[in-house]
Amino acid sequence: MSASAIPTVPTPLTGEQAEAMAQRHIKKHHVAIVLLHWFNAISWLLELSTGAGLIVSPYYRFAPMWYLQMMEGVFGSRANMLRFHIAVGLTWTAVFLVYAIFGFRNYLRIEVLQNEIGLDRDDMRWLRVRTLLLLGRTKDPLPPQGVYNAGQKLFALLVYTMVPLIMLTGLTMTFHWFGTAFVAWAMVLHFFAVGMVVSGLMIHVYMGAVFPEEKPAFYSMITGVVDELYAYRHHFKWWRSVKIQQQAWRAELTSKEEAIGTDEKPHQDPRTDTTPLISRPQSGDRR
Amino acid sequence: MPRYAMVIDQERCVGCQSCTVACKSEWEVPNGSARTKVRQTGTVGQFPKLSTAFYVSQCNHCDRPTCVPACPTGATYQDQNGVVRVNRDLCIGCGSCVAACPYGARYINAEIGKVDKCDFCASRLSRGLQPACVATCPAHAKIFGDLEDSSSDVFQFVYRGAAKRMETANIAIGPNVYYAGKPEHAELALASFAPLPPRTLAPGKVWSSLLNKFVFLAVGATFLGQAVAFFHQLSTGEKQFEE
């Protein structure tokens, strides 16, 4: 069986095919990524709420007075709030530093970065069509996408540039690095970088928690898996690469089985193939 | 509630710097910095009509302090009794207040990375003592007290005498350190050490003229875009993904 049975463009599915694909799961996120994502989410929630409560100068303040007073009441004093903000920020930075040190072999490779932030021609078209769809101005199908869509890639690009800036400026302010002039610049750059991330974060949260078509992506950040139908429709290029990989594994297995004289199973179109390569999680499964 | 003020009698001041030394030892001020110090105008005029004056510079605990709104974290604040103070637990040492002070009364303590300045020896006041500089001054040129108390020496100087504030037409923020003595002394000091217009640091200017516009534009645009998408979603109804 060659890769020819795997479609190169997303073709319409029969009801039967869609049914079968909705039952099968593909692993999308490593458990470490799932845990890191929620750790990051909680850190951001705490840092944004305390950070907004710490900015009291009329030149920089944006939170209403009642919010500042409420946050001061919650923490007892603004000094305590600042200590908390610094403690969470340092923990957050330390965790990502550990992740970068131990994970860079796996995650900081060019193919991985290409998946995460490399925008190709399909991605540029996707951005246009997606915007027009949201405005109800087109009925065109969305161009096929890799493991992350172009919107996610843009957000990743923003986060990858702004988060190191947030960490460095935060450390500069905490430890008074390089003196007063640097601290003064660090402060406004901290506000700027956080503001930029927040502008993307609003879309990220909306798409994950509110937008109906991306709900499987939200659940994948809990279970680590998505169903094949979602992968086929939203991340076709990724679905295809996973299928090619699975066929290669299967061919390897088959050749081993032939060597020990087992009967060869006939191959099928992967869209109606019901062989559970990664089985659907059952209740009571230990994961 | 008292309203603290200080009067410096320029006729009595001999420029001995006792107040500077007392303050530095009381507050462990690093070398090269001072919460208060005596500055001399230098000799002016034509012989034999020469004149000079001593000007004691320190925080003026102004009625409308420019340093308080400049502080991003609220570390600089004004007590009910008028004393402008710094909460070191909140100070990040950004220097915004140093630039905002017209009197150059603030400095960054490099040893602790935080701002420092005169607070009328607040901890001594709470123990019923006079500020260290006042207690030390051998000529009694520094007079400290409560402006709400009509029997106090500062009340007499400020409301009955001719004590002057170190203000110009442009910079009048109500300093609470007054200068008494011969009028020409105060004029001379004002000519040499006039208050400077409050400054905003370069990062603060870049923020208010450029960066905050970026942030508000980006956040506003995504918020609007999302609102459009959300109402579109509501108007078309939820389409189940599985169809």
Taking CB atoms and an 8 Å limit, are A183 and B90 in contact across chains?
Answer: no
Asked whether B78 and B32 are in contact (CB, 8 A), the reply is: no
Tracing tokens 């709030």 back to the chain, one arrives at A81
Q: Which residues of A touch B93 (CB under 8 A)?
A: 176, 180, 183
Count of structural domains within chain A: 1
For A193, name the nearest residue in chain B, comparing CA atoms only.
Answer: B215
A48 belongs to a structural domain:
yes
Q: Which residue in A271, A287, A281, A191 sits closest to A13, CA to CA?
A: A271
A82/B contact by beta carbon, under 8 A:
yes
Is the residue at A74 inside a domain?
yes
Per-residue pLDDT tens over the stretch A70-87: 999 999 999 999 999 999
The answer, yes or no, to whether residue B68 has pLDDT greater than 80, is yes
Domain span at residue A35 reads 31-98
Q: Is A195 on the interface with B (CB under 8 A)?
A: yes
Confidence at residue A276, expressed as pLDDT on a 0 to 100 scale: 54
- Alpha carbon separation from B119 to A100, A117, B106 (Å, rounded): 46, 53, 11
State the pLDDT confidence band at A280, using cuts at 50, 70 and 90.
Answer: very low
Residue B8, strand partner residues: B142, B179
- Close Cβ partners of A73 (under 8 Å, ≥ 6 residues apart): none
Three-state secondary structure call for residue A91: helix
Q: Is residue A206 part of a domain?
A: no
Note the ipTM here. Answer: 0.90
Higher-pLDDT residue of A136 and A235 is: A235
B71 vs A contacts (CB less than 8 Å): 56-57
Q: Across the interface, which of B206, B226, B242 has its CB nearest the CB of A206?
A: B226
- In this prediction the pTM is 0.87
Chain A positions touching B225 (Cβ under 8 A) are: 134, 203
Is B5 in a helix, a strand, or coil? strand
Among chain B residues, the shortest Cα distance to A177 is held by B113
Mean of per-residue pLDDT scores for chain B: 92
Q: Is residue A116 part of a domain?
A: no
**Looking at beta carbons, which residues of chain B come within 8 Å of A191?**
207, 211-212, 215
* pLDDT of amino acid B18: 96
Range scoring the smallest mean pLDDT among A20-29, A44-53, A187-196, B175-184: A20-29
Burial class from Cβ neighbours inside 10 Å (0-12, 13-18, 19+) for residue B206 reads middle
Which residue type is seen at A110? I
Partner-chain contact B241 A181, CB within 8 Å:
no
**A249-258, B15-24, B220-229: least confident range:** A249-258
Q: Alpha carbon of A2 to those of A106, A267, A268, B15: distances in Å?
A: 29, 9, 11, 97
Q: Which helix (H) or strand (E) holds A284?
A: none
- Contact assessment for residue B7 and residue B154, using Cβ atoms and an 8 Å cutoff: yes
